[in-house]
Structures are given as structure tokens and as C-alpha cells.
Amino acid sequence: MNCPNCGAPLFPGEPKCRKCGAPSNWNPATTLTPIQPVQPQEPPKPVVEEKPKKPRNKVAILLIVLIVVVILATILILVFVNKSHKKENDDCKPTVEEPERPVVTEFSIAVGNFIYRIPISYATKVENDYLEIMDRAEDPTWFITLSTQEINFDSMLTLSDDEIQRMFLNKGVTTATVNKQTVNGKQYLVVNCVMEGNNVLYAYTKANAEFTFVASITTANNTFGASYLNVINTIFSSSIVDERKYGYGVNAFLPYTVFASLQQ
């Protein structure tokens, strides 16, 4: 404040002016301004500037899509062209029909002087120069033993039934019934024998000028039918001479001396 008389500055609380001595008329109640309490202010929040979003590059995306489409289209075109060329080449090639594979129905087995062809439906067993054939049942119901004998079959046919019977009876056979049969044009000399209570059927037929096929047949029920002769006839008719070891054959059961007299 200032002195009302001279205008000199006065300090608060001074009753008079220091310069002119005039009273200052100072009233603390009216002159002093009460001090207002200062209210605490919250610190200003930092302003976070948002980064502007980068605009998507639509052109680049479209370009990538276009490149992918072009690549796929190129692959499809190449595949189609390749198939077309292959089809044209196949059409130009001559058609070659593959021959049908033959169905295996038999196998060959060499025994003695001959090679036999055996149907695959039969089981076989070879012992020395004997070939044993049987059915494939767990307990076989019939057995056929095949072999060869060095004797001319035509000479055997010149013997009478009584002469053949005596030959078998002299070798331990109880009874012997002789008959001649023809199976599919092939002639057989058949002898039905009883040996130690068992029936044995012997069948002889021509192998070549020097050898005779011999088959002995036994069955579980001691009976024989025409089917057994058909079986051995099929095997004998398809057999061939084994040139590797052509020599003397061995009789199936009876000793060679049964028909040895025919060669004298």
C-alpha cells in the first residue's frame, strides 16, 4: 500500500509514513488478505500419441494372389498336355495281348526210367524206384504204387490166365483173378489178388518196347472201382522216358522173376 499523503510505499503494519510521518490509517482486518489454502493438483496425465495405422497394401496382396493363380493354371495346363501326349502315344502303339497264364493242374516227377505227370490233387512219395500216389486226406483212403519192369508187355499177353494165376500163387498170393481190360484205347492186364487177407489190384500196361508199367492199388475198404484204372491210365499215358538215366526198372511188389520165364 502507499501513503495517502505523499504516496510513498508503506509496509504492512506501519502506523505512519516513514517519509512524511502522516498516519497510514492501516487496519489489519481490512488491509490484509487472508491466505487461501492451496489445493493440491493432480499431475497432468501423459498424452499417449496413437501411432497412425499403416494402410494395407491392397496392390501387393492382389499381386500375390494373381501370381498364385497363374502358377496353378500353368501346372494344370502342363498336366493336361502331358496326358494328351501320353494318350496319343498309347493310341499309336500296337495293342499286344498278353497270353493267358496256363492254369497249373499237374507237376512232373522223375522216378526210375520215366518222368510222370501227376495231378496236383494227389499227394506223392518216392522210395527208391517206386512212386507212391495217394489222396490228400489226413488218413488216405487209397494208395497206388507205380514202377516199371523190364519185360515186353506183348509177351505177357500171350500167357493164358491159368499160367498167370500159377505165377502169382507161387509167390504167396492166396487167390488171383486175371482179366484183360481196355481203358481209353490202352490195354491192361489186371490181376486181383488176395494177400494176407488184403486185396491188392495189379495192373500192367505197355510203356515201350522194352518196359512195362506196373501199378499196384490198395484201398482202405478193400474194394476197387473203374476210377482207379482211369487214374493210372492218365498218369501212364502222359509219362515220358527219362533219357538221363534210361536203364532197368524195378517191379512194384512182385519180384522180377514172376515174368522172367517170358524172356527165355
- List, for residues 210-260, the tens digit of each pLDDT value: 899 999 999 988 888 888 899 999 999 988 887 766 544 433 333 334 444
**What per-residue confidence (pLDDT) applies to 261?**
42
CA-nearest of 239, 253, 208, 256 to 111 is 239
pLDDT of residue 255: 36
**39 belongs to a structural domain:** no
Query: Per-residue pLDDT averaged across 83-87, rounded?
Result: 75
CATH code for the domain of 224: 3.40.1000.10
Whether 220 is in a domain gets the answer yes
Average pLDDT of span 55-71? 81
Evaluate whether residue 88 is within a structural domain: no
- Whether residue 48 lies inside any domain: the answer is no
| Domain limits for position 110 | 106-263
pTM of the model: 0.56
**Residues 150 and 256 grouped into a single domain:** yes
**Mean pLDDT, the chain, as a whole number?**
79
Of 189, 134, 182, residue with least CA distance to 157 = 189
Are 15 and 132 in a shared domain? no
Residues of the chain above pLDDT 90, percent: 25
Give the pLDDT confidence of 135-183 residue by residue, as tens digits.
Answer: 988 888 999 999 988 889 999 899 999 998 888 888 888 889 999 999 9
Answer whether residue 242 is part of any domain. yes
Residue 90: inside a domain, yes or no? no
**Is position 152 within any domain?**
yes
pLDDT of residue 247: 46
Integer CA distances (angstroms), 157 to 47, 166, 187, 217, 256, in order: 133, 15, 10, 21, 17
7 pLDDT tier (thresholds 50, 70, 90)? confident
Cα(185)–Cα(226) distance, rounded to whole angstroms?
15
DSSP string, 80-116: HHHHHHHHHHHHHSPP-PPPPPPPP-EEEEEETTEEE
Q: Looking at the 3D structure of the chain, how many domains does it have?
A: 2
Mean pLDDT of 128-132: 87
119-128, 183-192, 254-263 — which is least confidently predicted?
254-263
